[in-house]
């Protein structure tokens, strides 16, 4: 299954992390500039927050309202009605199996608002689909470190649920975000998720995909692409320069998936290192990125 990890934020906490970067930048936010107000001499006015900090201070409901297209939060997948019991009949008549559709929803949460059951389900998906890749890498698999990363304050989640038509109408992402963090009635357990953060990477404002995982039953149905499309659209609406992610080199399926979506090796992806004994050490992961900004056509100076 497709999976992504941000290695330098997992295995080496002393390195720059999104939270550290955000904090160090916002440490200057206490400074204010002087201005004048009519009839009141000089006064101090707050300095505007940078884009990343401004976005990350939004309550999750406001974040959804500002940056998440509502039309992308619900979709259907065609499903064949064929079964073992009626295979003979269909073969005899030559009729094609009847099809229907299943409805799925994507809920947007912050690390603080995600219901505990969904958080645990997301962790279980990582363990199911990627713990071996972690264990076989230089990072190693540490459940406690992964849980800690998943709870980073600026982390946000896109959680996949199947809508049960027999249960009460589901609550929207915005409405559930305003609640007490418990799962609303009528919700099934998470079948997949994508975690992401609006952050800095090498001085650039980016949206970073930390993890994307789907339950085996949901793979191969175009759901992963749909979630990545929404992830990128959120980045565009925020006004970020590019979307980024990290993938293990051993995960060939994921690498091909990202390649089809237009991701390429980022300029800051780690390069092979030569050790003191002359051995070349290849990194076991690669950083990929994709530009999000719309390139404006250049003006022909001769035409002016």
Domains annotated on the chain, with CATH: 7-14+49-81+98-294 (3.40.630.30)
The CA radius of gyration of the chain, in Å to the nearest whole number, is 23
Higher local confidence (pLDDT), 7 or 257 = 257
Higher local confidence (pLDDT), 15 or 289 = 289
Q: What is the pLDDT of residues 32-53, one digit of tens each?
A: 333 344 445 556 888 889 999 9
Number of H helices, E strands in the chain: 9, 12
Give the per-residue pLDDT at 69. Answer: 97
- What are the structure tokens assigned to 79, written together? 């499903």
230, 158 in Cβ contact below 8 A?
yes
Least confident of 63-77, 184-198, 215-229: 184-198
* For residues 108-115, average pLDDT: 97
Spatial CA neighbour of 244 closest among 191, 193, 202: 202
Q: What is the pLDDT of residues 82-104, one digit of tens each?
A: 544 444 444 455 666 677 889 99
Give the per-residue pLDDT at 47. Answer: 86
238 alpha-carbon distance from chain centroid: 14
Q: What is the pLDDT of residues 165-180, one digit of tens each?
A: 665 544 445 444 444 3
**Calpha distance 177→107 (Å, rounded):** 9
Least confident of 12-21, 41-50, 153-162, 268-277: 12-21
Give the per-residue pLDDT at 46. Answer: 81
What's the CA angle centered on 99, arms 98 and 101, to 5 degrees? Answer: 155
When pLDDT is cut at 50, 70 and 90, the band that residue 113 belongs to is very high
* For residues 102-126, average pLDDT: 97
Give the per-residue pLDDT at 179. Answer: 40
Give the per-residue pLDDT at 1. Answer: 44
Q: What is the pLDDT of residues 259-288, one digit of tens each?
A: 999 999 999 999 988 888 888 888 999 999
**Calpha distance 201→206 (Å, rounded):** 7
Question: Residue 240: is its pLDDT beyond 70?
Answer: yes
Q: What is the largest CA-CA distance in the chain?
A: 91
Higher local confidence (pLDDT), 187 or 284 = 284
In this structure, are strands 273-274 and 264-265 parallel, antiparallel, or unpaired?
unpaired
- What are the structure tokens assigned to 20, written together? 């550290």
Q: Which ranges in the chain belong to alpha helices (H)?
A: 18-26, 51-56, 60-67, 87-93, 116-135, 143-150, 173-177, 223-238, 252-260
When pLDDT is cut at 50, 70 and 90, the band that residue 111 belongs to is very high
As a residue count, the chain comes to: 304
């Amino acid at each position: 299954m497709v999976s992504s990890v941000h290695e330098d934020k997992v295995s080496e906490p002393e390195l720059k992390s999104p939270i550290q970067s955000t904090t160090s930048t916002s440490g200057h936010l206490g400074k204010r500039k002087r201005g004048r107000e009519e009839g009141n001499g000089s006064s101090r006015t707050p300095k505007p927050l940078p884009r990343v900090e401004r976005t990350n201070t939004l309550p999750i409901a406001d974040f959804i309202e500002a940056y998440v297209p509502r039309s992308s939060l619900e979709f259907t997948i065609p499903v064949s009605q064929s079964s073992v019991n009626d295979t003979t009949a269909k073969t005899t008549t030559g009729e094609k199996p009847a099809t229907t559709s299943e409805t799925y929803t994507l809920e947007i949460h912050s690390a603080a608002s995600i219901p505990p059951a969904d958080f645990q389900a997301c962790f279980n998906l990582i363990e199911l689909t990627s713990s071996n890749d972690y264990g076989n890498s230089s990072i190693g698999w540490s459940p406690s470190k992964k849980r800690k990363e998943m709870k980073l304050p600026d982390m946000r989640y896109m959680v996949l649920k199947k809508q049960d038509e027999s249960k009460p109408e589901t609550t929207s992402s915005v409405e559930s975000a305003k609640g007490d963090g418990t799962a609303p009635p009528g919700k099934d357990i998470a079948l997949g998720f994508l975690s992401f953060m609006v952050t800095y990477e090498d001085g650039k404002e980016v949206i970073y995909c930390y993890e994307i995982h789907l339950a085996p039953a949901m793979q191969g149905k175009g759901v992963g692409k749909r979630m990545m499309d929404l992830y990128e659209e959120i980045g565009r609406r925020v006004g970020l320069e590019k979307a980024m992610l990290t993938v293990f080199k051993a995960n060939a399926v994921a690498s091909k998936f990202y390649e089809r979506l237009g991701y390429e090796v980022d300029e800051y992806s780690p390069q092979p290192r030569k050790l003191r004994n002359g051995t070349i050490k290849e990194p076991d992961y690669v950083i990929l990125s994709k530009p999000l900004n719309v390139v404006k056509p250049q003006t022909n100076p001769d035409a002016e």
